Chain A
Amino acid sequence: MSTALAAIKGRLPEGQDLWTLIGIWALLLTVPFWLPMLGGYTALASKVLVFGLAAMGLNMLLGFTGVLSFGHAAYFGLGAYGAGLTLRYLVHSTPLAMIAGVLFGGLAGTLFGMLIARRRGVYFAMCTIAFGQLWYYLAYSWNDFTGGFDGLRDFHREPIGIGPLTLDISQGETRFYFFTLAIFAAAIGLMGLLLRSPFGRTLLAIRENERRARFLGIPVERHIWMSFSISCFFTALAGALYALLNNFADPLTLHYSLSGYFVVMTVIGGMRTFWGPLLGAALFVMLQDYISSMTVNWMSFIGVIFILVVLFFPRGLLGMKRRATA
């Protein structure tokens, strides 16, 4: 037994404790039971997972490679539209819609990443913002195809069936939550593997000291491009899930304000940690839900939170904890 445990422990990412992992998963698996007691509701938890996945995808680029993209909502939205358009125009199949969404967002990111891989810092961020807005503009102008300003509608998630086994996720909040959780688990399992691999280590090296990495012969631009591309695929997956959650895709999922939310979730939770963005997403989504019910001036509160986080909590919640134990 102890050897098995030791083996599992050996394969975990840096700083992960087996019991923490078990604790996190226990919490996630039992959400539909304890969340309503706190004044939440299951659809909110699904949203937390979706946004958490998107933020974790962004974190691959931002926290682990040290490159700032402020336009990641574009890939999120493209994932959503990809899934929605497939369900509406092509075929009533949820798995295919998800694949289409992931490919759409991921490929757009890959192609764009090629264009700007040589830029850095603030200018890189500006280009990502502008690129995101381009898709936003396309989505709300192309009325006939995308539903334009009003969004893409008239599609809904289909039951997934393979022969006699059918998983009906079209009704019921709880069932869809567990479906999302399953996809989430698979995705971040993959992400964890990637980050643990030599590729992931190289990204860390680039983050810590780009020049030195270059001197070591690492093709920096190519790695940045790959990191950008992979993070876009993950974020696009989150977008596809979001379209399925709402049975709707709308242009605001492409807007830079959503990009800003993703970045703040990553920062609040802890940019350089693995689980940080999920925690940040949970905090942010719940806070926004709570505050916007209390007051019309919720925008001020959210803005103030952004400012406070930047000024006083730059390392985020998990980042602080790590610093305390280091």
Chain B
Amino acid sequence: MTQVILFNVTNGLIIGAFYVLMALGLSLILNLSNVINFAHGNFLALGGYLAYTLSPTLGYWGALLISPLLTALIGVVVERTMIRRIYNRDPVYSLLLTFGLAFVIQDASRYIWGPNGLPMGLPAMLGQPITENLFFITWYRIFMVSIVIVTVVGLFAFLRYTRVGLRIRAGTLDLETVATLGVNVRNLRTFNFAVGCLLAGLSGVLAAGQIGLNPNMGDDLLMPSFIAIIVGGAGSLIGTLFGGLLIGMAAALTTVVYPAASEAVIYGILMLVLLIRPRGLLGEEGMFS
């Protein structure tokens, strides 16, 4: 019995950790720039694919380090050339733009790396279970969760204690005033977008080790990220963190009793939140109304 409970809690944390990483990146971009990045799942796939291509030369650890940075770089290029032009326009344009971008990136991934699934090699020791009894917790899962924890803590520390982080947080609340205070808002937005893509790329590398690579891999993580943001409350990163963990846990726990409904429960939570507390658990009234 304890095995089952322990298992489900850890599993919930692992699934939740994934959703959190994806959703945080999406949330960052949404909060500051008011852009829903439909291509976020595709940046995830890019991160995974780049790691796949780099790992023969750089090894797994090198790829883990470099490919999120490369993904962020691609994000910078995208932001500079395309997204920047539509910031002050109707939100419909940013949605369409990232939507079109998602198509292009997905097709490019399929074109470059082929439609077949590709395996991602892991260092051998990561593939082992940690003990005989706890066979379902492999070192890789622990590794994934640790990386996510480190990244999330790092992100929050960055936002709290550095100047750029302060500016991003301020910009989320009132970008106009931040601009009048002399901050280069354009660069801030580019940087913010890059950080979001970095998180997506990192998720991709981690996901690749778990589920392998294929052009559609980002699609299934995009919706739960949206829901994590809505449930947690738009405008609040901590809210997104809680939202992601909540739905991850819910999905894992449902798998015990009724596995076929593990996806449904996420949507159930969404509807519940929209009905009872539409601004989200930790959202602020007036954020988006």
Contacts and interface: CB of A to CB of B under 8 A. Distances in A.
Query: Does chain A touch chain B in the assembled complex, meaning CB atoms less than 8 Å apart?
Result: yes
Interface of A: 62, 68, 70, 115-116, 118-127, 129-131, 133-134, 137-138, 141, 260, 263-264, 267, 271, 297, 299-300, 302-307, 309-311, 314
Contacts of B270: 130, 134
A127 B91 CA distance: 14
A149 B111 CA distance: 27
5 contacts: A115-B275, A123-B289, A126-B229, A130-B226, A263-B96
Contacts of B102: 303
B230 A133 contact: no
A118 B288 CA distance: 9
B158 interface: no
Contacts of A305: 100
Interface stretch (B54-62, B81-89, B132-140, B182-190): B81-89
Interface residues of B, number: 46
A300 B93 contact: no
B96 A120 contact: no
Nearest to A260: B99
Contact of B93 (A121, A299, A310): A310
B289 A129 contact: no
B111 to A, nearest CB: 6
Contacts of B86: 310-311
A263 B95 contact: yes
A233 to B, nearest CB: 22
A127 B277 CA distance: 13
A265 to B, nearest CB: 11
A263 B267 CA distance: 24
B34 A122 contact: yes
A14 B161 CA distance: 56
Binding site secondary structure of chain B? helix
B263 A303 contact: no
Given A68-B92, A123-B287, A130 B100 contact: no
Given A120-B289, A134-B271, A141-B263, A303 B95 contact: no
Nearest to A300: B107
A122 B227 contact: no
Given A133-B223, A141-B260, A263-B95, A306 B100 contact: yes
B102 to A, nearest CB: 7
A299 B230 contact: no
Contact of A314 (B93, B264, B289): B93
B264 A125 contact: no
B89 A314 contact: yes
Interface in B267-288: 267, 270-271, 274-275, 278, 287-288
B235 to A, nearest CB: 9
Nearest to B89: A314
Contact of B100 (A120, A141, A307): A307
A307 B97 contact: yes
Nearest to A143: B260
A67 to B, nearest CB: 10
B5 interface: no
Nearest to A266: B92
B189 to A, nearest CB: 15
A133 B267 contact: yes
A119 B95 contact: no
Nearest to B99: A260
Given A121-B91, A124-B288, A307-B101, A134 B96 contact: no
Nearest to A302: B103
Nearest to A66: B90
B278 A304 contact: no
A307 B105 CA distance: 12
A138 B223 CA distance: 14
A116 B278 contact: yes
B217 interface: no
A126 B34 contact: no
B6 interface: no
